């Protein structure tokens, strides 16, 4: 993409309404614009990141045997009356009346809807187990929306739901999601630690939040350094095997949010393994048994022909929130530092003198070759001054900056900079290409 054609309205000034760094940087980098309180439009740069995150989430759900569906945003109040949540849910639910005076709502979550779909479709235990997910916009009418996409009203969520005959089956589904989540965050370039969460009235130990470590995180968290050092992607996974030992090897180590922090257990860790940090919640998995299936009469015929009420769980990842969380975890004073996997472009190609024929020819050639190699390149072909070009590229945080200027060209070199480290090398255009294309 040529910068001269790209719709990238960067802001020079820090927007006053942004209180946290991800909100500030997303506005400044032209990734989003506020449409109304807590509701955002995604501009091309932000949209690309959102889609990359969504695709990684999708791939790991698919790999776990979870099948993608898509439920609508608007649901009927009637459905929520079946579970009893229509009245329980407070003002966070956006309630709507249609032209025929029917009560509707903008879904804040989809337990009722998926339970209805499954109830009407599955008749026999032979159709179990099933894991279904969708990635859809939700609405929660927060009283004070803030922090940009970290706490918006309209937000994109991946929510999965499991259907099993009994708790043992549900635990297998839970374990698949537990491992899939660890893999998902690792692929996004994040350190995410599973921490036991409240299960509410159901009890048991089957609820975990996944907390991303970030200096600017919203809450204090405590954990064993062994969890931080562990790389989920280094471990081979067979999703059809018994995942309980692997899940246990994660949950056996100390990790807790502030509310659940146990000073004594934490202090029992060797000092060099005590990690006290800040974190951002980016996922929540939950076994809730028959909480929805029972009032909604969702059952299948068991092996003996008798109806068995379904055991269910739900598994959420805040997809739009992750864009903010990644920035909170990866930025510096100059701007965003995208992990390679979610970067909106792989390479920034900077022409320092757009009106110089040699610079233009060299850049056009590099641009064509990088694109031919399958890289996504943002090519600054404008007549902006060099300082502004560098500042913009640092701000939007592409992993590599390849700079071509008249002086360097005369000596046969271009400059390649790694955004994350600031490391720079002067090298021939061919060597730069070889390094980028790998």
Binding of its own copies at residue 50 (CB under 8 A)? Answer: yes
Q: What is the dihedral angle through the alpha carbons of 164, 204, 155, 153, rounded to the nearest 10 degrees? A: 130
Structure tokens at 230: 């562990």
Q: Which of 139, 315, 345, 400 binds its own copies (CB under 8 A)?
A: 139
In the block, residue with structure tokens 């913009």: 392
Describe the crossing of helices 319-329 and 44-63 by its angle, rounded to 10 degrees. Answer: 110
Residue closer to its own copies, measured from CB, 139 or 254: 139
Q: In Å, how far from its chain's centre is CA 19?
A: 21
Segment interacting with its own copies, rule: CB under 8 A, options 74-82, 244-252, 253-261, 353-361: 74-82
Q: Least distance from C-beta 313 to its own copies, angstroms?
A: 16
Residue closer to its own copies, measured from CB, 143 or 234: 143
Angle at 110 between CA 104 and CA 111, to 5 degrees: 115
Please spell the DSSP secondary structure of 79-138, one letter per residue. HHHHHTHHHHS-TTSEEEE-TT--EEEE-S--HHHHHHHHHHH--BGGG--EEEEEEEEE
Residue closer to its own copies, measured from CB, 156 or 349: 156
Instruction: Let me know: does 160 contact 118? Beta carbons within 8 Å.
Output: no
Could you tell me which residues come within 8 angstroms of residue 386 by beta carbon, excluding any fewer than 6 positions away?
A: 352, 405
Binding of its own copies at residue 385 (CB under 8 A)? Answer: no
Residue closer to its own copies, measured from CB, 226 or 239: 239
Phi-psi domain of 112 (left: phi exceeds 0; alpha: psi -120 through 50; beta: other): alpha
Residue closer to its own copies, measured from CB, 63 or 269: 63
Residue closer to its own copies, measured from CB, 102 or 265: 102
Q: Least distance from C-beta 126 to its own copies, angstroms?
A: 8
Restricting to residues 409-428, name those near its own copies by CB under 8 A: none
Residue closer to its own copies, measured from CB, 9 or 302: 9
Q: Which of 81, 84, 117, 437 binds its own copies (CB under 8 A)?
A: 117
The interface mask with its own copies, positions 215-234, x = CB under 8 A, is --------------------
Binding of its own copies at residue 252 (CB under 8 A)? Answer: no
How many residues can be counted in the chain?
438
Separation CA 173–CA 176 (nearest Å): 5
What is the gyration radius of the CA atoms in the chain, in angstroms? 25
Instruction: Let me know: does 49 contact 29? Beta carbons within 8 Å.
Output: no
b/e per residue, 257-292, with b = 16+ CB within 10 A? beeeeeeeebeebeeebebebbbbbbbbbbbbbbbb
Q: Nearest-CA neighbor of 416 among 366, 381, 376, 372?
A: 366
Q: How many residues bind its own copies (CB under 8 A)?
A: 53
In the block, residue with structure tokens 């030992």: 245
Q: Which of 14, 17, 91, 249 binds its own copies (CB under 8 A)?
A: 91
Segment interacting with its own copies, rule: CB under 8 A, options 68-76, 216-224, 270-278, 306-314: 68-76
Restricting to residues 305-364, name those near its own copies by CB under 8 A: none
Separation CA 43–CA 35 (nearest Å): 12
Binding of its own copies at residue 41 (CB under 8 A)? Answer: yes
Residue closer to its own copies, measured from CB, 19 or 67: 67
Restricting to residues 7-36, name those near its own copies by CB under 8 A: 7, 9, 30, 33, 35-36
Q: Least distance from C-beta 112 to its own copies, angstroms?
A: 10
Q: Least distance from C-beta 19 to its own copies, angstroms?
A: 20
Instruction: Let me know: does 183 contact 56? Beta carbons within 8 Å.
Output: no
Separation CA 323–CA 401 (nearest Å): 22
Q: Which of 17, 55, 72, 198 binds its own copies (CB under 8 A)?
A: 72
Q: Which of 17, 19, 55, 68 binds its own copies (CB under 8 A)?
A: 68
Segment interacting with its own copies, rule: CB under 8 A, options 114-122, 190-198, 307-315, 404-412: 114-122
- Interface with its own copies by CB under 8 A: which residues? 5-7, 9, 30, 33, 35-36, 39-44, 47, 50, 65, 67-76, 78-79, 91-92, 94, 96, 98-99, 102, 104, 106, 113, 116-117, 120-122, 127, 130, 132, 137, 139, 141, 143, 153-154
């Amino acid at each position: 993409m040529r910068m001269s054609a790209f719709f990238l309205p960067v802001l020079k000034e820090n927007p006053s309404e942004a209180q946290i760094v991800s909100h500030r940087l997303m506005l400044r980098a032209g990734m989003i614009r506020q449409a109304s309180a807590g509701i955002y439009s995604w501009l091309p740069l932000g949209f690309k990141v959102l889609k990359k995150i969504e695709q990684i989430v999708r791939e790991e759900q698919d790999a776990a045997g979870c099948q993608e569906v898509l439920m609508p945003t608007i649901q009927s109040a009637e459905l929520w009356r079946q579970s009893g949540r229509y009245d329980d849910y407070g003002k966070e639910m956006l309630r709507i009346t249609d032209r025929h005076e029917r009560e509707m709502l903008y879904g804040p979550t989809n337990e009722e809807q998926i339970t209805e779909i499954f109830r009407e479709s599955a008749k026999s235990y032979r159709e179990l187990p099933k894991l279904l997910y969708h990635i859809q916009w939700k609405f929660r009418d927060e009283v004070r929306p803030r922090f940009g996409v970290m706490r918006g009203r309209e937000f994109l969520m991946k929510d999965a739901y499991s259907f099993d005959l009994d708790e043992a089956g549900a635990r297998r589904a839970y374990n698949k999601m537990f491992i899939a989540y660890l893999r998902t965050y690792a692929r996004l370039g994040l350190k995410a630690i599973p921490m036991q969460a409240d299960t509410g009235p159901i009890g048991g130990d089957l609820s975990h939040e996944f907390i991303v470590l970030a200096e600017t995180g919203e809450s204090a968290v405590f954990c064993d350094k062994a969890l931080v050092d562990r790389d989920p992607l280094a471990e081979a996974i067979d999703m059809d095997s018994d995942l309980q030992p692997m899940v246990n090897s994660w949950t056996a180590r100390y990790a807790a949010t502030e509310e659940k922090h146990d000073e004594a257990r934490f202090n029992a860790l060797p000092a060099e393994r005590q990690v006290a940090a800040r974190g951002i919640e980016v996922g929540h998995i939950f076994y809730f048994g028959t909480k929805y299936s029972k009032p909604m009469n969702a059952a299948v015929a068991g092996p003996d022909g008798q109806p068995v009420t379904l055991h269910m769980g739900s598994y959420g990842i805040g997809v739009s929130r992750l864009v903010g969380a990644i920035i909170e975890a990866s930025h510096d004073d100059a701007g965003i530092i995208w992990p390679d996997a979610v970067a909106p472009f792989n390479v920034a190609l900077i022409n320092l003198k757009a009106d110089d024929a040699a610079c233009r020819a060299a850049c056009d050639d590099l641009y064509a070759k990088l694109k031919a190699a399958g890289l996504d390149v943002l090519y600054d072909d404008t007549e902006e001054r060099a300082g502004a070009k560098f500042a913009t590229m640092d701000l939007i945080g592409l992993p590599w900056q390849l700079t071509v200027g008249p002086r360097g060209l005369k000596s046969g070199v271009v400059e390649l900079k790694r955004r994350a480290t600031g490391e720079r090398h002067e090298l021939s255009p061919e060597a730069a290409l070889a390094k980028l294309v790998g």
